[in-house]
């Protein structure tokens, strides 16, 4: 199978090298920006790939919705199988790409877009065929897990931890999507669509770790909690899908606390299987490239789709899941949240636990407080 690669950054180089080494594959042309064609295998026009009859499949690892979407459609319509690691692309345009691929009779797979090297979506798609999936989620962002591990394990400060994660090639080109939880949100959108056929586009909520301070870390560590950024998706009896991302405080000994550095923990609960969890590197050149190659290998074995046939865009309902939240906020703003217990306070700040409130209510209340200029950190407290 001859594979063209779109993008030659951290992951693109890994995919190209792995294609050269893997039996049964041939590395085809690589699409780079105009002016960057410094080697014969590099081209700067998508036409050089879509018009090349010897190319069987296209692996897109450039990131971003455009021009990736235009190139994806062009590749699919030219009869090339299409594989991508691009979460932003599949979260925004997955249903359109799925339909285009079906019409063209080619495969559309995107394992590497959720969980890095962890074979999560592939297994989720298989599990869906024979079990009812109740929930999906876990630690789905390597950058923030790396940062949380360094901040909590070694007392590193936020900026230094982010800089290290960038240096190691885990973070997005613009790390805002990582630290605000948007990257993990895109991944949970994909998992929901694979599990239940709904790719939620509205009603989604993401809280990241960009409000976390060293003082917050010191406080919740002293209370026996460890923080992880966790994505959650679940299906209700009325078929509505919850999909959100937020920091979670866990008692030490919970499985997620043992997930260190850039690792992810991707999990699902099946009615019959119960809890299944997979841990592995969620970001980085070779782990992500290995997932791209696994998809390409799946195509050779006849695998052609991850989404169920009736997948459609939809809305998330985050009103029905509720948690107790740990919150740090200015003293004068404390009356705006339903608090059940003050944990600590000084002249300016309060640290407290809320009553059990819905995910939607909490995220919206904090958004309103921030609009008024308040600095707030919050995290759900997982019941032991
Ligand atoms: N920036 C992403 C992460 C890369 O840190 O998880 C892998 O999707």
Q: What is the CATH number of the domain that holds 251?
A: 3.30.360.10
Domain tally for the chain?
3
Residues 307 and 356 in one domain: no
β-sheet bridge partners, residue 251: 225
**Pick from 315, 348, 365: which residue ends a domain?**
315
**Pick from 63, 87, 109: which residue ends a domain?**
109
> What SS3 state is found at 37?
coil
Is 90 exceeded by the pLDDT of residue 238?
A: no
**Pick from 260, 288, 315: which residue ends a domain?**
315
Domain with residue 13: its CATH number is 3.40.50.720
Residues 125 and 230 in one domain: yes
Q: What is the spatial distance between Cα 294 and Cα 18, in angstroms, rounded to a whole number?
A: 11
- Does the pTM surpass 0.85? The reply is yes
- Residue 382 confidence (pLDDT): 96
Q: Is residue 249 in some structural domain?
A: yes
Residues 71 and 129 in one domain: no
Distance 339 CA to ligand 1 centre (A): 34
| Domain interval for residue 96 | 2-109
Is 80 exceeded by the pLDDT of residue 384?
A: no
Distance 175 CA to ligand 1 centre (A): 9
Residues 93 and 174 in one domain: no
Distance 365 CA to ligand 1 centre (A): 28
Residues 193 and 279 in one domain: yes
> What SS3 state is found at 232?
strand
β-sheet bridge partners, residue 57: 3, 81
Residues 326 and 310 in one domain: no
Mean pLDDT of 44-68: 98
Cα 159 to chain centroid, rounded: 21
Mean pLDDT of 188-195: 98
Q: Is residue 105 in some structural domain?
A: yes
**Tell me: the pLDDT tens digits for 116-141?**
999 999 999 999 999 999 999 999 99
Residue 337 banded pLDDT, cuts 50, 70, 90:
very high
Is 80 exceeded by the pLDDT of residue 73?
A: yes
Q: Is residue 115 in some structural domain?
A: no
**Tell me: the pLDDT tens digits for 17-44?**
999 999 999 999 999 999 999 999 999 9
Mean pLDDT of 211-232: 97
Residue having the nearest C-alpha atom to atom 7 of ligand 1:
283
Residue 239 banded pLDDT, cuts 50, 70, 90:
confident
Mean pLDDT of 353-369: 98
Ligand 1 proximal residues by C-beta, below 6 Å: 116, 141-143, 170-172, 178, 183, 282-283
Domain with residue 364: its CATH number is 3.30.70
């Amino acid at each position: 199978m001859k594979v063209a690669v779109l993008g030659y950054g951290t992951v693109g180089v890994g995919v190209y090298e792995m294609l050269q080494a893997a039996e049964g594959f041939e590395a085809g042309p690589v699409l780079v920006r105009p002016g960057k064609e410094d080697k014969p295998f590099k081209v700067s026009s998508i036409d050089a790939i879509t018009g090349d009859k010897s190319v069987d499949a296209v692996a897109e690892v450039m990131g971003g919705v455009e021009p990736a979407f235009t190139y994806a459609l062009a590749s699919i319509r030219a009869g090339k199988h299409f594989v991508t690691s691009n979460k932003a692309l599949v979260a925004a345009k997955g249903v359109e790409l799925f339909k285009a691929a079906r019409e063209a009779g080619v495969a559309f797979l995107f394992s590497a877009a959720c969980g890095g090297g962890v074979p999560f979506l592939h297994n989720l798609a298989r599990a869906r065929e024979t079990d009812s999936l109740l929930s999906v989620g876990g630690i789905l962002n390597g950058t923030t897990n790396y940062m949380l591990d360094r901040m909590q394990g070694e007392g590193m400060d936020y900026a230094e931890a982010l800089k290290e994660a960038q240096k190691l090639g885990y973070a997005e080109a613009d790390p805002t999507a990582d630290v605000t939880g948007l990257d993990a949100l895109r991944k949970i959108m994909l998992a929901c669509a694979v599990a239940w056929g709904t790719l939620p586009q509205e009603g989604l909520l993401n809280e990241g770790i960009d409000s976390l301070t060293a003082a917050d870390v010191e406080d919740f560590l002293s209370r026996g909690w460890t923080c992880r950024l966790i994505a959650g998706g679940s299906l209700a009896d009325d078929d509505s899908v919850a999909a959100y991302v937020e920091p979670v405080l866990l008692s030490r000994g919970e499985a997620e606390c043992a997930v260190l550095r850039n690792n992810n923990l991707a999990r699902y609960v099946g009615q019959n299987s119960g809890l299944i969890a997979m841990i592995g590197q969620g970001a980085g050149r070779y782990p992500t490239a290995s997932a791209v190659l696994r998809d390409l290998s799946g195509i050779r074995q006849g695998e052609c789709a991850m989404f169920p046939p009736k997948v459609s865009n939809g809305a998330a309902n985050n009103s029905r899941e509720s948690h107790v939240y740990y919150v740090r906020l200015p003293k004068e703003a404390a009356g705006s949240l339903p608090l059940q217990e003050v944990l600590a306070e000084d002249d300016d700040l309060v640290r407290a636990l809320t009553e059990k409130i819905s995910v939607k209510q909490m995220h919206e209340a904090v958004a309103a407080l921030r609009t008024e200029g308040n600095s707030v950190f919050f995290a759900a407290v997982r019941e032991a």
